[in-house]
Amino acid sequence: MEFTGQIELIWEQTKLPLVVPVLKVLVVLCLAMSVMLFIERVYMGIVIVFVQLFRRKPEKMYKWEPMKDDVELGNLGYPMVLVQIPMYNEKEVYQLSIGAACGLSWPADRVIIQVLDDSTDPAIKTLVQVECQRWASKGINIKYEIRDNRNGYKAGALKEGMKHSYVKQCDYVAIFDADFQPEPHFLTRTIPFLVNNPQLGLVQARWKFVNSDECLMTRMQEMSLDYHFIVEQEVGSSTHAFFGFNGTAGVWRISAINEAGGWKDRTTVEDMDLAVRASLKGWKFVYVGDLKVKNELPSTFNAYRNQQHRWSCGPANLFKKMAMEIIRNKKVSLWKKFYVIYSFFFVRKIVAHIVTFVFYCVVLPATVLVPEVEVPKWGAVYIPSIVTLLNAVGTPRSLHLVLFWIIFENVMSLHRTKATFIGLLEAGRVNEWVVTEKLGDGLKTKLGGKAPRKPRFRIGDRVHILELGVGAYLFFCGCYDLAFGKNRYFIFLFLQSIAFFIAGVGYVGTMVSTS
């Protein structure tokens, strides 16, 4: 009792002179960031409405004519296309991606399939090489390329792949990650944009998820990524502002890559890095939203955490490296520079992560313990509700899951915020690259369909201390609010704390036995 009394005394002595002023400043900062995010979401919503109303399809914005057979030139009328498939120990999906690439509808003598295998497992290397030989025996022009190191990871592999002499005869390069399966008509839809519009440097397609119904976590990912593709990418393309290359399911003009300085491995988002540099050189990009390429979402929690670390840390680190370069650039308009720096980087890649965690998981719960600090209802309820609804419209089929999406995104915001600060400060894990685990056709075999599974428990892989700590903090705030508070936040706080506890013990996503 004496110890508890001392804690209460210390709290009362420090609350008014120290805690209250700091919390008030944090509330103001978080409200300002919330308004920035709100304006950004509303702006993109308005643009999308206009795009839909006026049917601003890519074919109307840029010249597009189908490739036609030329009687005199024959297949020479088709440009040479390089198809790159970078992979690393992709035992479960290598056949899918190679098979899909070899099935593209394009004259066989005008396409080169390049498999860039960085695998460290000799058995998997052999499997991939044999698969390439199998397709080569069918008359497919396929090259199996390896290197003696993994320097630069994916960027290093792509850069090395471009050095081969046969690449010089190619005009365009299509890139597909190892789990991506383009439809046969992919090249016939994308290449005409580049052929007929010399100002275009990139054509980006949309992702379609083959395992979005695998578990609740994949449904949550689908909601976030659908918003990215249906809204963010579409807005950047239709306003001629800017959108980032997604690293796969896109076709580049090789001269645009070269003019931009080629692939660089200075961050873990080599795709975004190249897109920004090419844009600063004046190249334009087009997003073809109705062209979808099948791929796989990470269905295990650790795989998803690793992916989100890279996707949050990399952009923040790239922003730090390129902000002044973008500001000083004289080739692009002031509008495009503002859009890239403020909208694309600052609001979406930094503010969105920080405000989600700091405001809703730290500051708002803290006001329960410090009733002297109040958060206006428009900031605590109205703005987040509207932002959530604007995000959810991208995936109408999951509208009923919006509550789960909110609490799951708040949980992931802890991981993303940490990664964002690592990127901005260039701390220890800034260049960490863990290849996202893919299960491919082996998923159903490993899971035994939808039957219950009992994964082997590894405490080091499953327990996440930070999530458990935040869960405990939110639970304490919820109990305090229920007992003494007037805010009536306790329902949200209890739900959010449960979500953090569940994530903290790794009981999220698909559980695949490693035995």
Among the ranges given (96-105, 423-432, 493-502), the one the predictor scored with the smallest mean pLDDT: 423-432
Stretch 344-363: mean pLDDT? 96
Catalytic residue among 117, 118, 265, 273: 118
Range of the domain at 273: 57-64+76-297
pLDDT at 441: 53
Q: Which position has the higher pLDDT, 7 or 490?
A: 490
Whether 118 is a known active-site residue: answer yes
**Is residue 440 very low, low, confident or very high in pLDDT (cuts 50, 70, 90)?**
low
Q: Rounded to an integer, what distance in angstroms lies between the CA atom of residue 312 and that of residue 345?
A: 11
**Is residue 453 very low, low, confident or very high in pLDDT (cuts 50, 70, 90)?**
very low
**Is residue 319 very low, low, confident or very high in pLDDT (cuts 50, 70, 90)?**
very high
Stretch 90-106: mean pLDDT? 94
β-strand pairing of 250-253 with 172-175? antiparallel
pLDDT at 43: 94
Stretch 330-349: mean pLDDT? 93
Stretch 17-32: mean pLDDT? 93
Q: What is the CATH number of the domain that holds 162?
A: 3.90.550.10
- Whether 50 maps to a domain, the answer reads no
pLDDT at 227: 95
How would you list the strands of the sheet with 250-253, edge to edge? Answer: 142-145, 111-117, 81-87, 172-175, 250-253, 200-209, 284-295
Stretch 505-513: mean pLDDT? 76
Whether 481 is a known active-site residue: answer no
- Whether 439 maps to a domain, the answer reads no
Among the ranges given (102-111, 239-248, 443-452), the one the predictor scored with the smallest mean pLDDT: 443-452
pLDDT (tens digit per residue) in 127-139 = 999 999 999 999 9
pLDDT at 487: 80
> 455 pLDDT exceeds 50?
no
The pTM of the full predicted model, rounded to 2 decimals, is: 0.91
pLDDT at 512: 55
Stretch 143-166: mean pLDDT? 94
- Whether 202 maps to a domain, the answer reads yes
- Whether 150 maps to a domain, the answer reads yes
> 114 pLDDT exceeds 70?
yes
Stretch 420-437: mean pLDDT? 84
Residue position matching structure tokens 């701390």: 427
> 456 pLDDT exceeds 60?
no
Catalytic residue among 179, 265, 271, 481: 271
**Is residue 449 very low, low, confident or very high in pLDDT (cuts 50, 70, 90)?**
very low
Burial of 230 per CB tally in 10 Å (0-12, 13-18, 19+): middle
- Whether 331 maps to a domain, the answer reads no
- Whether 332 maps to a domain, the answer reads no
Percent above pLDDT 90 for the chain: 74
- Whether 391 maps to a domain, the answer reads no
The structural domain count of the chain equals 1
- Whether 493 maps to a domain, the answer reads no
pLDDT (tens digit per residue) in 261-312 = 999 999 999 999 999 999 999 999 999 999 999 999 999 999 999 999 999 9
Residue position matching structure tokens 């290397």: 125
DSSP 203-244: EEEEEEETTTTSSHHHHHHHHHHHHIIIIIIHHHHHTTS---
> Average per-residue pLDDT in the chain?
90
